[in-house]
Structure 1
Amino acid sequence: MTEAVVGFVLERLENLLIHEADLLRTVKGDVNLLQDDLRIMNAFLKDSEGKGDGQEMVEVLIDLIRKAAFGAEDVINTYMAQVIKQRRRKLPMKLFHCFDQALVLHQAQSRANEEAEQSLQQRRRNVEEEDVVGFGNDTAKLVYQLLDRSRSQRKVISIIGMGGLGKTTLARKVYNNTRIKNHFAHCAWVNVSQEYKTRALILDILKCVGPISEETYNMSDEKLKGELRDKLKGKRYFVVMDDVWKPQFWDEMRACFPNDSNGSRILITSREKEVASNAGSNPPYFLPFLDKEESWELLCKKVFQEEKCPSNLESLGRQLAESCKGLPLSIVVLGGILAKKDKTPQTWSNLIGNVNWFLIDDDNKRCSDILALSYSYLPRKLRVCFLYVGVFPEDFLIPARTLIQMWVAEGFISVQNDSRKMDEIDVAEYYLEQLIDRSLIQVASRKSDGGVKTCRIHDLVRDFCIKMSIQEKFYEVRVNSADLRRSSNSSIPRRLSIQGNIDSESISSSRTSNNSISVGSLLLFNSYSHYNPLKWALKNFRFVRLLSVEVSDSSHRSRTFPKEIGQLVFLRYLKIAYTGRIRMASAGRRYLVYYWKSFPASICKLPYLETIHVEGWIVKYIPNEIWMMKQLRHLCARYGIELKPPSKIGHTLSNLKVLSFVQVDKETSILFRKSLFPNLRKLHLGKWFRRQIDESMASEILASLESLRNLQILKLSNFKFWQRLDLFPSSSSSSKLTKITFVDCEYLDSNHLMGSLGKLANLRILKIRGWLSSPSQLHFMAGEFPQLEVFKMIGLRDIETWELETHAMPNLKHLVIERCTSLRNLPDELWSLANLRMVEVSNIEADLKEKLVIKQSR
């Protein structure tokens, strides 16, 4: 497993040498030699992939390669920084001398890997087959599906969930159920695992069906499949295939199982959602985590067996059980540990706050082995993305957009060999969905279009990521002052995540506070009060590619960006999120807003900066130098920025994809008429703090948006639609707009506006929040909104009636109505929409609520 991060570093170095050839042209000969060495090392790593664990010689070599790669990276960065600053010097070479060793050591590899894999699988089964509580309802649901006589065709049912969630335990409960045994003529159980052999699995199933002759053992693989099919022909059978990893597994086994329309069933357990998708059209059964009471019951069972927990331990025990976050694996292993320790409050108190680290300790491999299976099975390109999620604090709701942009900035995403011509953000979104489908990352919330909005990972998984990252020198997490002070005795990490309250003494004494060239990423999640963390970061980490500062700060009303930020010459990603105490009102709501006095021009001169994300309000205009940032992709300030058109002809933000949000003024329409954002995908325009946009300005701005040919998502705040304004009147059929959101806007003719929106051929999501002074009627005509899937009405207090003609928004799937307190009816035509799957209503009048209850009862 240890080669994943090293391989990523080598590949990034190769790409750096190619893409920065201009900066390195004075040392071209040395660069060519270095490239040759990198290719040799990378070839060795790819050939050794998955063979490092348990082979000391290989691990030693990989560690040598890691050190050499890190050293080369530091040297190149130092040289490039000086070139960028116009101070050139000879590139010192740090060549590598370990390749002869690589060949010799690689030849020494043996069958130890296969033996280690078998041992690992056995340890997994020893844990997962423990008797786990809390599966009563799950067992009943699955037994019902398996015995459902209305479905006579052969049916494949899949149980999906992360490692240690109890999939095998649940499958075993179902397999041993008396009703199951009595219903099926043949029942068989096979353990598949990652490195399965199809022939051996078929033989295992045949053994469950009946005696096997010597002739059967001598059959070819194809004849063996036919033999199993013949033995099951005409019989109602039930086969459990446990721990399936590869989607193609079902393709290899499908021919073994006849479909005689007699209710035969196959049950698959897997951590991979794709396995279920490939095995059949039936939706998989996603196994949930245990609740608090189930967790406590299981822990008691493992610690005290049939005895009752002493009253003086119950409070501590419940805390320990809850810290496992519903993962049966954690609870079972913790129970085994506690059962062997003194059952005293002092002993149990020592574990509070340290359970997960204790569970994945080197002396206790049961939990880490289970998680290691999932990690080792990941493709190399996903491993670094997965490990990286551990940089966020415990129980942190991770914005998917933030995670994706960080992956891109770190260089984890490659589109060079992608035949679908997706950009890096698209590929990163795909990677995130892959990790979710593999049960490693959990979805916390989804966006209206179904994409991931926020995500999280289980605490045990997070601690596993941190542990692996320390081993691979990928990143380190510091959570308190003592932790940071101890870092002075350790090596400087490549990435550093500081979490918790860190005092100024710790900062000054830390070894990382010495202008380190090694730290490439710095993430701060803290509550600072006595010093400026941004200034500290700029002083001590000049070579960072990624800087994320998310802290609370109530000591100042406003901040000024330090000019020194322009010295971070390698910076690709900048996020600054301060929470302050400035209250501003808008549409009857009050906000806590932190504002920045200025935005320094030095930021605009950073040659690699792609993402600027500021959680605040930038008061003054963005410097005109912003228009020279050809590499900028995301420019976001939650509470507003002000942009002026470029002073020179030909300057555009050609790669900008996201612009949010722009405080509009009289020059805003000029920005768009001049086609300064040719590739913009997402745009938020508006005014906050009750400063509404008059009709003439609104008309000019909306007309100017026609130049945004690639715009997909549009959000408008505090616009007044006094005239009969059309959105993109001349290009509604060719518009790429898929989502529009209105916030606190006023409409004197809402039906005309809806008619304009209804012509947008690709519009899939429409959200309206906080209409002001709107008419009392809403009317959708036939043929309007042909592709609309999601419609949300929130805070439309003046709307009394809603009329929907036949064939209007025929593809609607999801309807949300919230705080529409005057609404008295929903159109009858709504219930005839064939695709409507979800209707959510809240804070509505009692009359309408009663009508909906009656409608539902029918």
Structure 2
Amino acid sequence: MTDVVASFALENLKNLLIHEANLFRRVKDDVNLLQDDFGFMDAFLKDSEEKGDDHYMVKELINQIRDTAFEAEDVINTYMAQVIKQRRRNLLLKLLHCFDHAAVLHHVAEKTPSIKRKIENIYANKTAFGIEAQSHADEEAEQSLQQRRRNVEEEDVVGFGDDTAKLVYRLLDRGRLQRKVISIIGMGGLGKTTLARKIYNNNHIKNHFDHYAWVSVSKEYKTRMLIFDILECVGHISDEKTYKMSDEQLKVTLRDNLKGKRYFVVMDDVWKPHFWDEIRACFPDDSNGSRILITSREKEVASHASSTPPYFLPFLDKETSWELLCKKVFRGEKYPSNLESLGRQLAESCKGLPLSIVVLGGILANKEKTQQTWSKFIGNVNWFLIDDDNNHCSDILALSYKHLPRKLRLCFLYVGVFPEDFLIPARTLIQMWVAEGFISIQHDSRKMDEIDVAEYYLEQLIDRSLIQVASRRSHGGVKTCRIHDLVRDFCIKMSIQEKFYEVRVNNADLRCSSSSTIPRRLSIQGNIDSESISSPSTINDSISVGSLLLFTSYFHYNPLKWASKNFKFIRLLSVEVMYSSHLSPTFLNEIGQLVFLRYLKIAFWASHKQIFVVRSPFFVSESFPASICKLPYLETIQLTQIGMCIPNKIWMMKQLRYLYVSPRMELQPPSKVGHTLSNLKVLSCVQVDEKTSILFRKSLFPNLRKLHLIIKWESEIDESVASETLASLESLQNLQILKLSWFEFGQRLDLFPSSSSKLTKITFESCKFLDSNHLMESLGKLANLQILKIKRCDISSRQLHFMAGEFPQLEVFKMIGLKDIETWELETHAMPNLQHLVIDGCADLRNLPDELWSLANLRMVQVTDIKTDLKEKLMIKQSKMKEHGYSFKLIIS
């Protein structure tokens, strides 16, 4: 399994030498020799993988190839950095530094023989041990990217019905009003979190308690971060003063917020018994029936927290295990009778562990469903699961990893760089994969969009039960995802072995490494203080680090200055921080030194969870640093909670693909004719002003797919400026997704591109509709519109009316927080393709149109927070639908 990292390193080097050939003109001969050697080594790796050769010498040769490729990459990066910096100097500085180039060449000449000797040693060992590398055909063409339409519902959970009922009864026990701690105990992967989540979402629980909160504790918990999470759940709004409180002050604050309230708190995945000692003072006992639910693998945790006997979660029985395996393998279809005997054996060999069954099901779902194929797994699964060291889940993950196509392996391992229990935004993960170079964009000799390919890869990993979907978008795509802690541990373990990346959690880890050489990628999780960064070289030989990810709640230093000082050649930089005391409006200036940077993300958390508040930025920079605009490879810029003005030099960044700045950015037209952002695909969030329409009318974004426009709250923007901006969008021929915030729509009709527009999704947020029917008539003419969201908008007419023939392709319609709307009228033959309707927080809505229930394609209607009389009508409708066997679901919360 080790060859995937080595092959990727070689492939990166070959592509680098080809695409940047102009940088290597003065060392052309050396480069040509290296290219030949890399080609031979890559052929050897592919041949060894094809033969499945596990000879110890083969493994050793693979390790040597990987290390040689890493060393060559370091030498080449050093050379390229000098050339790039020299090109950025003016003429006088070039003359003053004319000897730099010769010095670098001398350094390359010194390093090259060492690399060559290692390559020759590989050749010699290959011959001595009779290991011959053979060329073979190219990798199979990638599978079709036609993704099936995915249901936006979460899958039903198998089992836990009796467990849920028993624990809910315990929690609601009115015979004991004292604060009570109940624990669920069981081994990892048994379903403790799943059961706790079912209890947490139980209607009886929600109706009984005044406050309820959920916190994920995990091994490396931080008490203050858990308190922040609970405070957020109970409605306390944290500010800078709260973040500066001591731990004891925070505990008092939480206790005061819970005082006199009947609360229910779930503490998931507790590992250490003394955890309860650190946090018990936060929870007052007012003898009102408050409850705390703990899940843990350790019995000692439960006995330390309470004298109440814990609930030991049982394993799934044989029938439930078989049901779960069938669900994962056959996905609702009837299983072949000739596989039942083998399938039951496989399910039973998992010993009732849900994680093992799910992982095995993901493997079998993508294999031939024959007795011959399934028979091969019988012995393997049993051998893995009876291992005395209790690592059988990890072994099954290893089996799943081994069966992954080569193109998915690095993508899967990479997910381990995120902290435990981290809710991973799918778009962030996908863009990181692209920036790292994991995505192959060739399909049937056609060059495809890398984001589409990456989304397909993510869905493939989800189908194999290696990544879990946390939430989905309106169109069914993944919005957020997560991985189980066992899966994460497996990814980290494999990555350390392959020198792919390392995860470090505390300050001490910054000054030492578990491996003999520095990792190629580094994920630092935890607070970084001045002591950790005081030494001149925080990490020895940090030239090797190509990707740096920082996840921290508090940074006592400018993280970008620290990163640029210690990691000069990184390609990917992601900084997620809750608070920093050493940041100024110019803190971004340090990034201009990172000449290889491809991906940049700077995000300031509004809370410990990954939730961002866009109403007011934590930091405001007067201008985007011009030095960043000179970075030749930078493709993705994502700045969250940082408002700024983008300089005109941004138009020189031809390679830029994704530009996110929230809550807003000021973007001015280019100063020179001919400058365009020709490769830009996503632009968000642009503040509308008098010059905004010029940006779009001049075709400066020929490939823009997604756009978010925002009018500054309480600004004095004239209505004609907003109208001209919207009219100018017709020049964006490839625009598919549009989001508008704080716009005011008057009597004008032609505010959007014509019926030939490619717009498939439009979102209105915090807008004002002075004439909603005219606006809907304009929107209804968009022939390709599939998703329409209206969120927290002011609809002054208090009604919506959709006429026949409007919205011919609309599949998803969401009305959220429309507190003033009273009626909704839907003529026959309007929105004939509607599949999913969401109505949330429309408190004055009196009706849903009768024509809605006649729509042939309707699959789901979700209604939340509505008037009582409308709710009662819908419940009657729901009952009648069940009686008549309607094919769609009506969900009323």
Q: Tell whether the structures are fold-level matches, with TM greater than 0.5.
A: yes
Greater CA drift, 680-689 or 409-418: 409-418
Task: Spell out, residue by residue over 1:456-503, the C-alpha distance to the aligned partner (whole angstroms, 9 max, x if none).
Answer: 111011011101110000000000122223339842111110001232
Alignment correspondent of 2:762: 740
- The alpha carbon displacement at 1:834 in A equals 1.4
Specify the code of the residue in structure 1 equivalent to 2:394: S
Q: Say if 1:171 and 1:422 are closer, same or farther in 2 by CA, change over 3 A.
A: farther
1:275: which partner in 2? Answer: 365
Q: Distance in 1 between matches of 2:627 and 2:73?
A: 25
- Give, in whole Å, the separation in 2 of the partners of 1:702 and 1:718: 13
- Could you say which residue in structure 1 is the equivalent of 2:13? 13
The reply on whether 1:689 has 2:713 as its aligned counterpart is: yes
Give the letter aligned to residue 39 of structure 2: R
Q: Conserved in 2, the CA contact under 8 Å of 1:14 and 1:35?
A: yes
- 1:599 equivalent to 2:689? Answer no
Per mean C-alpha deviation after superposition, the further-off stretch among 808-817 and 480-489 is: 480-489
Q: 1:552 to 1:682 in 2, by over 3 A?
A: same
- State the alpha-carbon separation in 2 of the partners of residues 718 and 415 from structure 1: 38
- Per the TM alignment, residue 723 of structure 1 is displaced from its structure 2 partner at its CA by 2.4
Counterpart position of 1:4: 4
- The change in CA–CA distance for 1:496 and 1:487 in structure 2 (over 3 A counts) is same
Is it true that 1:818 corresponds to 2:844 in the alignment? no
How far apart, in 1, do the equivalents of 2:127 and 2:822 lie? 78
Contact 1:2 1:52 survives alignment (8 Å): no
- Say yes or no: does 1:479 pair with 2:505: yes
Look up the match of 2:790: 768
Q: Is residue 612–residue 636 contact of structure 1 (8 Å, CA) maintained in 2?
A: yes
Q: 1:407 aligns with which of 430, 433, 438?
A: 433
User: SS state of the match for residue 774, structure 2?
Assistant: helix
Contact 1:580–1:594, Cα closer than 8 Å, also in 2: no
Residue 520 of structure 2 is aligned to residue 491 of structure 1: no
Distance in 1 (CA, whole Å) between partners of 2:836 and 2:624 is 41
| Amino acid paired to 1:679 | N
Structure 1: distance between partners of 2:427 and 2:593: 26
Does residue 561 (structure 1) correspond to residue 561 (structure 2)? The answer is: no
Residue correspondence of structure 1 range 456-605 to structure 2 within 5 A: 456-487=482-513, 490-509=516-535, 512-513=538-539, 516-553=542-579, 555=581, 559-579=585-605, 593-605=618-630
Q: Distance in 1 between matches of 2:158 and 2:441?
A: 44
More displaced 10-residue stretch of structure 1: 636-645 or 41-50? 41-50
What SS does structure 2 have at the residue aligned with 1:239?
helix
Range with greater deviation from structure 2 (426-435 or 476-485): 476-485
Counterpart-to-counterpart distance in 1, 2:428 and 2:710: 23
Alignment of 1:639-658 (within 5 A): 639-658=663-682
Per-residue deviation, 1:705? 0.4
Whole-angstrom distance in 1 between the partners of 2:367 and 2:737: 30
CA contact (8 A) 1:242 1:270 kept: no
Aligned twin of 2:174: none
1:88 matches 2:104: no
Instruction: Give the equivalent residue in structure 2 for 1:708.
Output: 732
Q: Which amino acid aligns with 1:776?
A: R
The corresponding residue for 1:60 is 60
CA distance in 1, matches of 2:443, 2:69: 24
The answer for unaligned runs of 5 or more in structure 1 is: 110-132, 139-161, 178-188, 193-231, 246-266, 281-327, 338-362
- In structure 2, relative to structure 1, the CA distance for the partners of 1:771 and 1:10 (3 Å cut) is same
Q: Indicate whether 1:801 and 2:827 are aligned.
A: no
CA deviations on 1:622-650 (whole Å, 9 max, x unpaired) are 11110010000000012011011000000
Structural mapping, 1:351-390, within 5 Å:
366-390=392-416
Change (3 A) 1:660 1:176: closer
Query: CA shift at 1:579, angstroms?
Result: 3.5
Residue aligning to 1:75: 75
Change in 2 beyond 3 A, CA 1:837/1:575: same
* Preserved CA contact (<8 Å) 1:737 1:762: yes
Task: Tell me which of 858, 875, 878 is aligned to 1:853.
Answer: 875
Cα 1:812–1:475, aligned 2, differ >3 Å: closer, same or farther?
same
Query: How far does residue 538 in structure 1 lie from its aligned partner after superposition?
Result: 1.1
Alignment match, 1:22: 22
Question: Matches of 2:74 and 2:409 in 1, distance apart?
Answer: 23
Q: Measure the CA separation in 2 of the matches of 1:175 and 1:851.
A: 40
Q: Is the 8 A contact 1:3 1:52 kept in 2?
A: no
Greater alpha carbon shift after TM alignment, 756-765 vs 551-560: 551-560
Which residues in structure 2 correspond to 1:169-568 (within 5 Å)?
Answer: 173=319, 239-242=340-343, 270-272=360-362, 275=365, 366-419=392-445, 421-487=447-513, 490-509=516-535, 512-513=538-539, 516-553=542-579, 555=581, 559-568=585-594
Query: Is the partner of 1:32 in helix, strand or coil?
Result: helix
Render the CA deviation track for 1:813-848: whole Å, top value 9, x for unaligned. 111111111110000000011111111111111111
Q: Report if the CA contact (8 A) 2:655-2:679 is conserved.
A: yes
Residues of 1 paired with 2:852 and 2:684: CA distance? 34
Structure 1 position 279, deviation (Å): 6.7
Asked if the contact 1:748/1:775 (under 8 Å) is kept, the reply is: yes
- After superposition, give the CA deviation of every residue in 1:163-192 in whole Å (9 maximum; x if it has no partner): 9999xx979547999xxxxxxxxxxx9xx9
Please give the alpha-carbon distance, in whole angstroms, between the structure 2 residues aligned to 1:707 and 1:817: 33
Give the distance between the partners of 2:496 and 2:429, measured in 1 at CA.
20
Equivalent residue number for residue 304 of structure 2? none
Work out which of the residue numbers 795, 813, 827 in structure 1 matches 2:849: 827
- What CA deviation, in whole Å up to 9, does each residue of 1:742-783 have, x standing for no partner? 011111111111111111111110000112252122110111
Alignment RMSD (CA, Å): 3.5
Give the Å deviation of 1:698.
1.3
Tell me the TM-score normalised to structure 1 length: 0.71
Does the aligned pair in 1 maintain the 2:804–2:829 contact within 8 Å? yes
Instruction: Give 1:563 shift.
Output: 2.6
Cα deviation, 1:229-253, whole Å, max 9, x if unaligned, reads xxx9xxx8673444999xxxxxxxx
- Give the whole-Å Cα distance in 2 for the aligned partners of 1:277 and 1:834: 36
Aligned-pair CA distance for 1:367: 3.4
1:606 shift after superposition: 0.2
Closer/same/farther in 2, CA of residues 701 and 367 from structure 1, 3 Å limit:
same
Q: Secondary structure at the match of 2:533?
A: helix
Change (3 A) 1:176 1:399: closer
Cα distance change on mapping 1:36 and 1:567 into 2, 3 Å: same
Q: Provide Cα deviations, 1:253-297, integer angstroms capped at 9, x if missing partner.
A: xxxxxxxxxxxxxx99953389379879xxxxxxxxxxxxxxxxx
Aligned length: 652
SS at match of 1:550: strand
The amino acid across from 1:100 in the alignment is: A
Match of 1:616 in 2: 641
- Contact 1:507 1:513 (8 Å CA) reproduced: no
Judged with a 3 Å threshold, the aligned counterparts in structure 2 of structure 1 residues 371 and 643 are, in CA distance, closer, same or farther, namely same
Identity %: 69
Aligned residue in 2 for 1:261: none
Deviates more, 1:639-648 or 1:716-725: 716-725
Q: Deviations over 1:112-160 (max 9, x none)?
A: xxxxxxxxxxxxxxxxxxxxx985879xxxxxxxxxxxxxxxxxxxxxx
Residue 489 to residue 752, structure 1, CA distance change in 2 (3 Å): closer
Q: Match of 1:262?
A: none
**2:48 counterpart letter in structure 1:** S
1:635 alignment partner AA: L
